[in-house]
Structure formats: C-alpha cells, structure tokens
Structure 1
C-alpha cells in the first residue's frame, strides 16, 4: 500500500512548523470529543498509552491532547520541539521526540551523513533533556547498494559520536525498525536481527530499538516470540493493523491483546503508541477507533 510511505514522512514536517492556529477548534472534532465518554472505563495501568501525532494530524494538536486525556492516554508520540509547549500545557508527556533526523532515507547507516547528523543530534539531545523528556528517535536510512554489514559498521561508528552525550543527559536514542517490503524500500534496519546486533555493539542502555509491530509483522512475523526473547533491546512500541496500517480491531491479522500481554509480562514500563491511520468514514468513528485500540491494548 502506497499511502503510508507518504503519510509517514508527515511526522518530519511537524518538527519545522509552528503551532499557530492549533487552538482553533474544528466543529466536527469538538462534537466527537464530546461523544467519547459514553463507554469510557478506567484503565488498568499496566500499559502506558500514547498516540502518534502524525496519524491524527487532521486534528489540531490542542484537540488531540484533549482527546488523549479523555481516553486516558498520557503521552503524544513523534512530536518536535516547536509543539512541546502544547503538550506541557495539557500535562502530557512526549513519549518519542523527533526533529534531529535528516530524513527517513538519509541517516546513520551512511557515513556521508554523519557530520550533519552528529551536529543535529548533539543539539537535540540537549533540548530533549532540558524539556524533561527521555526518548529521541533515529533511523538507519537506506542501503543504496551497501552491504548490511557495512551499514552496521557505519551506524555503530556514527552513533558512538553522540552516545556519550545521550548517556550524560539521560536520553535514550531509539532506532525504528521499518519494513522494506512495502513501506520503506531499501531501509537498512528492516529486521530485528540487524537492529539487535547494533544494540549489542553499542552496548548501552541509552540505545534501544523502537519495535514497530506493524512493520515487523510484515518483515518477519513471530511477534510475541521476538518480544519475549529480545525485549531487553526494545525501548518503545508502535501499533497498527496489518494489512493496511489501519485499525487494530478484528478486521486485521494481529492479536493485539495477546501481544500487549507479552509486552506487559516482560516488565516493560515504557509506552505503547498507537500509530494506525483511521480508516473510518465519520469523524466520531475515527475517535472511537482510538478508544477501541486503547482498550484492546490495556491488558
């Protein structure tokens, strides 16, 4: 499906745009927000819930924060510095910060980009720390014909140049696992083994993998076993339905309650962020989809 590669890049644009006008409420969203309490139940507290900014960017961030709080979601995912003040105003965490990356394709696996990346990440690590947040996303970038082993060598060498600052500031760098089969052709970190090997080489609690369940179901499957066996390398989780990156209900092939029980049972205390694209026609149905997703993952 081609929708996701285009939309996924929208997260980068949120890091360079301001928040002017975000407080202007849209009529349909206001009505939908008012309707989300009808089936609200208290969450169990075993899973910390988040939602990705870019997948609900048809809403002003102010309204997404209101919706999140009403549903018991305590953080917004993939938010850059220009919008952190909105989260703070609503008492919400930034569960995954972004804005230091060059692009999804041009990143740590290619040494040509290291000089620019080091400068950007050193600055961003300080900014994330000063804001009181923890997680900062990074990417492998594309191979462009490079051997995966060379990509590992490059990523290790580049990340070592910023890892000391991350350790000093208490920031966890999180490299996201993408599938290269459908959404991100040629992406280097397209399987858990490659990412885990990079974690082993860097050998730091301040470098983890963002285990995207949607992407890894497409790339390799065996989700629950991988989580049980390798959870110590995973610092963050993303959800979405397969196929299509839509709702995580019974219209798709993943059993998210079972997956989240596996995450819970590892002792994980980070966030599980909803990163699906609502595929419902009506605005109220889109918000109910998020509510359903939170309840499915609240194990």
Structure 2
C-alpha cells in the first residue's frame, strides 16, 4: 500500500543486532541483547504496518519499548492512550499530499480545517501536525513558496496559542511523489524563514531527501533548527535500514543527537520481511545509538 493512498483516504551486526528474516531466531524484547538506550525517542509510522490490527500493533510497540506512533488521527488516539503510545505526528487536516498550501484556491478551506484541528491536537496532549505543499501543477517554485507562506502565516497565531507545531514534510518528487513541490531542503528552509514562527517546522524525511539531494548529515548539521521531526527509510526501495541499502543510520542518528534534538525519530520503512515486527525491532535497534 502506498503512503499517498493511506493519507488520502551498518548493517544489523554492526550495532549488535541478531537480525532475522523469514523465521530465523532473534532475541526477544526482554533479553539483555535488546535493551534500548533511548537517547533517540523512537516512533513508527502506522501506515507501514497497516495489515496488523491496531490493538495488536500497540501491544507490539509496548513490547519493543517504542513510545510513539506517527500519522494518526483522532479516531486512533483513545486506543493509543490506553497503551500509553504518544501520537508524535498527527494528521487529519488538509487534502493529502497532492493538494496543499501552494494552491491559493484551497486556502480558505485549509485555514478552516487546520484552525479546527490544531486545538484538537493540543487537547489530546500532542504537539505536531503534518501539512503538505501540494504538487506544482505547472506553478513556479517561487510562487508556490510565496503562496504557502501567505496561507500558513494565517494559522500560526492558532498554532502558537495552543503550542502545536505545524510541520511540512519534505518528500521526493523523483520516485514516489511526482511533481510535489516541497522536495528540497533549501526550499523548505526558505519557507520557514518567510513564515518566521517556531511553530512551523519541516519534517525531514531521510529516505526522501537521500533521493533528492543526498548529503544527509551535512544538511542536518546546517539546517537542524528548521527540522522538527525525522523519518527513516532504506534507499533504494524504502525497505529495511540495514546493510541492504546505502544509508548508514547509526552515523545519521549520532548527527541528529549532536544537534540537541529532543523530538521523535519515526521508522517509515516498508517491511519486506515475513515477520514485520522483527524488521521493526531491527530498525529501532540500529537507530538506538
């Protein structure tokens, strides 16, 4: 299942992981070999595990020591709270990835939608709410940036009042989201500067930005003050973040820690293993530097 559909409707050994695939043994969460340092606050994106019933998945998160889940809405929050799982990136406002803040004709509805949703996020005890630029549809990037800033500035007083951070996700337009406008760090950083509020940040998706621009660690070092949240994913393929792909996540996590970041890092790879929870356990352990 592709993420756009859901929203619209190193190496393991190098970090001490006895990884397994398709049935080979791996230590359980209670064993000494699986003990999280928790220097990184771990989260996971729900859509990657859509085939696992929500309550079963929440029990899995408790067993793994994962404290939060991304891309959830009000319909999910009561059950999440039952299991002590925080909603680290909320959704439920807007029109999805392809239709967003760069389109002036949508501003009236977007402003009304986010104005209603921001207090709900705050009332539930959460702080992050996702948003999207939308596709270009022939629009110049400079015009789109101006349009996004114009609209988003109008909801900043509400976000500031309720202590909610609205975060625009950086996505690749090369493989997964053709024509998406917010597809480069420098474009997003300029948008942050034009909005000029600590309640607007970028969701820095490492997988997507590896595809679009690379230089992941340097960009984290240079632009971390504009990054409010992080997503993982293996490239190529958006699968496990182990030796099967080109990114070295322990070094990336160390770079994030050195910035003083205290938020969540959410696993957003699509498991290719038969045992999806084992794949998630491996990913969290790799990132637990």
CA distance, structure 2, for counterparts of residue 255 and residue 42 of structure 1:
21
The alpha-carbon deviation at position 44 of structure 1 amounts to 1.1
Aligned to 1:44: 37
Question: C-alpha offsets along residues 13-62 of structure 1, whole Å, 9 cap, x if unaligned?
Answer: 3xxxxxxxxxxxxxxxxxx9x96545752211210000000001111111
Question: C-alpha offsets along residues 178-227 of structure 1, whole Å, 9 cap, x if unaligned?
Answer: 00011111111000000000001111110000000000000000000000
Aligned to 1:133: 126
CA distance, structure 2, for counterparts of residue 7 and residue 122 of structure 1:
25
Contact 1:74–1:93 (8 Å) recurs in 2: yes
Aligned to 1:150: 143
CA distance, structure 2, for counterparts of residue 152 and residue 122 of structure 1:
21
The alpha-carbon deviation at position 9 of structure 1 amounts to 2.5
Q: Which of 200, 225, 231 does residue 238 from structure 1 map onto?
A: 231
Aligned to 1:298: 288
Aligned to 2:222: 229
Aligned to 1:28: none
Q: Which of 175, 179, 185 does residue 178 from structure 2 map onto?
A: 185
Aligned to 1:9: 5
User: Can you give the 5+ residue segments of structure 1 that lack an aligned partner in the other structure?
Assistant: 14-31
**Is the aligned partner of 1:79 residue 2:72?**
yes
Give the 3-state SS of the residue equivalent to 1:82 in structure 2.
coil
User: Can you give the 5+ residue segments of structure 2 that lack an aligned partner in the other structure?
Assistant: 10-24
Write out the 4+ residue segments of structure 1 that deviate beyond 3 Å after TM superposition: 34-40
Q: TM-score, normalised by structure 1?
A: 0.88
Q: Which gives a bigger RCO, structure 1 or 2 (Cα 8 Å, sep 6+)?
A: 2
Aligned length: 274
Question: C-alpha offsets along residues 92-121 of structure 1, whole Å, 9 cap, x if unaligned?
Answer: 100000010212111101111111111110
Aligned to 1:98: 91
Aligned to 1:265: 258
CA distance, structure 1, for counterparts of residue 61 and residue 118 of structure 2:
26
Aligned to 2:154: 161
The alpha-carbon deviation at position 287 of structure 1 amounts to 1.3
The alpha-carbon deviation at position 245 of structure 1 amounts to 0.6
CA distance, structure 2, for counterparts of residue 214 and residue 104 of structure 1:
17
